[in-house]
Amino acid sequence: MSALNATAHSPTPAPASAAALASQNLFTALRAAFPADLDAVAVEATAPDGTPLHYTWRDLDEASARIANLLASLNLPDGSRVAMQVEKSVEAMLLYLATLRAGYVFLPLNTAYQSAEIEYFVGNAEPAVVVCTPGNFGWVSKIAFTAGTQHVFTLGDDRTGSLLDRAAQHAGQHTPVARAADDLAAILYTSGTTGRSKGAMLTHGNLLSNAQVLKDYWGWQATGGPDGGGDVLIHALPIFHVHGLFVAIHGALINGSKMIWLNKFDPKAVIAAMPRATVFMGVPTLYVRLLAEPGLSREAVRNMRLFVAGSAPLLIETFKEWQQRTGHTILERYGMSETIMLTSNPYAADARHGGQDERRGATVGFPLPGVGLRVVGDAGQPMPTGEIGNIQVQGPNVFQGYWRMPEKTKEEFAEGPDGSRWFKTGDVGRIDERGYVHIVGRSKDLIISGGYNVYPAEIEGYVNELPGVAESALVGVPHPDFGEVGVIVVTPRPGALLDGDAILAALKSQLANFKIPKRCFIVPELPRNTMGKVQKNLLRDAHKGLFA
């Protein structure tokens, strides 16, 4: 790499197999990787009442075919969105697979979202189908029908609801609809700095190329697992974001690997599953919570091969403590909704980086094969190696743009001198002498709490609407469990008497729980610089010790 130009084009292109695979329906590629023995167990899960559940590969194939046939029977227009807001279950994953299979566009929504949030997403995406929990049918269907959605089904985490009832009437065979690499497969909403969420449009080609690259890069194994098969993944993340939905599910399926499926993250259940597994993926909070368990020992992890962390910065203390307790080095990687995975620490030392690379803490490793990553200054000039700047990326994994927001899409891409397009990640970082990428901050005003994104502008907008509030500022402060949490500082209108707890209670009825600030302070005025801009850094400093 040039000493003057911190552009880290990955030294290896994406494997040819990734390019070839990328021009087909993602489901077809995943299905092709199912093992020959379709009666082998593909997913071990537990029903909400504690009953053990086993799904064979044949079950996954047939059940996703039934749901795909149900979707096909609805005669939806091409490109229709299928929105899902349900508790995590294997059947929810099957709905995702069925949507791919039927050629429609999957739109997963966080179960924590409240009615105002759902109203926005459904109004913006105009899904043809909405699937919600039986308990939420009343309010969700009202929103959906008002927005023009024609079909609302229900799906409970105990395999109840109209979706499966209706799907049961359809055949268990289905030929996947042909899709090209550029065809949309999913829309993932990411909150916006202006308060309006943007739907990142991901294609079959984006998802498939990234899955194939990660299969090779992380050395997914076909044999040598604890039960005589290959790798076994513990799936403990929610399935409405990139990490749990794409990186974890695709990772296992494209390797024909069994999953031990937990509907909710429970550190004791994860540790209990480890002797039967080889791979685990988590946001940093999951690692912090696992470390708090006395049962986490070298004996418990004896069969584990790989621990992957990402979605938020992994503290070096957590990285080191994990090494000491388990003898394993966590592999940290970096990605986002718009790009899926971008960089990764190496799985094993290899010739690509001089044969001496290793997994390092406090870095996110190297650009993945096929990914270009550069660090530029505010005027777009390349930054010298080691210097901090804005991270921009390109590659087959980079999304098509924001749903129905061509102007916003244009703003978020920079043109290279050669006419190439670079996506502005909003992350700030540097590339060191050895080519490792370090994320040092964000230019976007964003708080990442326990792996969930919280955009201050959105929360401030709600608070500023409350009676008696003049203005507010949300800042992120360090937190031992969630990494970072929001603290809101509010000023009253003249004569108004505000109560911090009442403000938080009012927010709870309107916003997803993870967006609720952990503390609220009422102050006479916010600190401002000479330009009149709120000095959030001063507020952050003032409150940084709150949860120490």
Q: Which residues make up the interface to ligand MLC (CB under 6 A)?
A: 237-238, 241-244, 265, 283, 285, 310-311, 335-336, 449-452, 482, 485, 513-514
Q: Answer for the pair 222, 256: CB distance below 8 angstroms, yes or no.
A: yes
Pairing of strands 306-309, 469-479: unpaired
Q: Indicate the residue among 211 and 312 with the shorter CB distance to ligand AMP.
A: 312
Q: Is 538 left (phi over 0), alpha (psi -120 to 50) or beta?
A: alpha
In 272-418, the DSSP E strands lie at 279-282, 306-309, 331-336, 340-344, 366-367, 372-376, 389-394, 401-402, 413-415
**DSSP for residue 44:** E
β-sheet with 81-85: strand ranges across: 151-154, 129-132, 81-85, 105-108, 184-190, 198-203, 401-402
Q: Indicate the residue among 80 and 318 with the shorter CB distance to ligand MLC.
A: 318
**Could you tell me how many helices (H) and strands (E) the chain has, helices first?**
16, 27
Please, what is the minimum distance in Å from the beta carbon of residue 251 to ligand MLC?
12
C-beta neighbour count of 178 within 10 angstroms: 11
Q: Indicate the residue among 304 and 364 with the shorter CB distance to ligand AMP.
A: 364
Q: Answer with the entry of ligand AMP, ligand MLC, none that 439 interacts with (C-beta below 5 to 8 A by kind).
A: ligand AMP
**DSSP for residue 377:** -
Please, what is the minimum distance in Å from the beta carbon of residue 317 to ligand MLC?
18
Please, what is the minimum distance in Å from the beta carbon of residue 45 to ligand AMP?
25
Please, what is the minimum distance in Å from the beta carbon of residue 456 to ligand MLC?
14
Q: Answer with the entry of ligand MLC, ligand AMP, none that 364 interacts with (C-beta below 5 to 8 A by kind).
A: ligand AMP
The one-letter code for the residue type at 16 is: A
Q: Answer with the entry of ligand AMP, ligand MLC, none that 67 interacts with (C-beta below 5 to 8 A by kind).
A: none
Binding site for ligand AMP (CB under 6 A): 190, 242, 310-313, 332, 334-337, 364, 425-427, 439, 442, 448, 453
Q: Indicate the residue among 153 and 334 with the shorter CB distance to ligand AMP.
A: 334
Q: Answer with the entry of ligand MLC, ligand AMP, none that 521 interacts with (C-beta below 5 to 8 A by kind).
A: none
Q: Indicate the residue among 28 and 285 with the shorter CB distance to ligand MLC.
A: 285
CA distance 404 to 416: 25
Please report, for residues 294, 371, 379, 469, the alpha-carbon distance to residue 428 in angstroms, rounded to integers and kept in the order given. Answer: 37, 17, 14, 33
Q: Phi and psi at residue 331, in whole multiples of 5°?
A: -95, 110
H helix runs in 187-312, sequence order: 204-217, 249-253, 267-273, 284-291
Please, what is the minimum distance in Å from the beta carbon of residue 412 to ligand MLC?
16
**DSSP for residue 233:** E
Q: Indicate the residue among 244 and 382 with the shorter CB distance to ligand MLC.
A: 244
Please, what is the minimum distance in Å from the beta carbon of residue 229 to ligand MLC?
26
Q: Answer with the entry of ligand AMP, ligand MLC, none that 427 interacts with (C-beta below 5 to 8 A by kind).
A: ligand AMP
Please, what is the minimum distance in Å from the beta carbon of residue 312 to ligand MLC?
7
Please, what is the minimum distance in Å from the beta carbon of residue 548 to ligand MLC?
17
3-state SS of 422-470? EEEEEEEEEECCCCCEEEEEECCCCEEECCEEECHHHHHHHHHCCCCEE
CA distance 420 to 413: 10
Q: Indicate the residue among 10 and 28 with the shorter CB distance to ligand MLC.
A: 10
The one-letter code for the residue type at 280 is: F
CA distance 442 to 236: 27
Q: Indicate the residue among 104 and 246 with the shorter CB distance to ligand MLC.
A: 246
Please, what is the minimum distance in Å from the beta carbon of residue 372 to ligand AMP?
17
Q: Answer with the entry of ligand AMP, ligand MLC, none that 313 interacts with (C-beta below 5 to 8 A by kind).
A: ligand AMP
Q: Answer for the pair 191, 336: CB distance below 8 angstroms, yes or no.
A: no
Q: Indicate the residue among 30 and 290 with the shorter CB distance to ligand MLC.
A: 290
How large is the C-alpha radius of gyration of the chain?
23
Please, what is the minimum distance in Å from the beta carbon of residue 241 to ligand AMP?
6
Please, what is the minimum distance in Å from the beta carbon of residue 452 to ligand AMP?
7
Give the side-chain half-sphere CA count within 13 A for 546.
Answer: 22
Q: Answer with the entry of ligand AMP, ligand MLC, none that 256 interacts with (C-beta below 5 to 8 A by kind).
A: none
Q: Indicate the residue among 56 and 190 with the shorter CB distance to ligand AMP.
A: 190
Q: Answer with the entry of ligand AMP, ligand MLC, none that 425 interacts with (C-beta below 5 to 8 A by kind).
A: ligand AMP
Q: Answer with the entry of ligand AMP, ligand MLC, none that 240 interacts with (C-beta below 5 to 8 A by kind).
A: none
Residue 113 Cα to chain centre, angstroms: 16
Q: Indicate the residue among 281 and 312 with the shorter CB distance to ligand AMP.
A: 312
Q: Answer with the entry of ligand AMP, ligand MLC, none that 449 interacts with (C-beta below 5 to 8 A by kind).
A: ligand MLC
Please report, for residues 149, 187, 286, the alpha-carbon distance to residue 127 in angstroms, rounded to integers and kept in the order given. Answer: 6, 11, 33
Q: Answer with the entry of ligand MLC, ligand AMP, none that 442 interacts with (C-beta below 5 to 8 A by kind).
A: ligand AMP
Please, what is the minimum distance in Å from the beta carbon of residue 341 to ligand MLC?
7
Q: Indicate the residue among 159 and 442 with the shorter CB distance to ligand AMP.
A: 442
Q: Answer with the entry of ligand AMP, ligand MLC, none that 238 interacts with (C-beta below 5 to 8 A by kind).
A: ligand MLC
CA distance 278 to 275: 8
CA distance 117 to 136: 14
Q: Answer for the pair 372, 395: CB distance below 8 angstroms, yes or no.
A: yes
State which residue has the least CB distance to ligand MLC.
Answer: 450
H helix runs in 300-435, sequence order: 316-326, 406-411
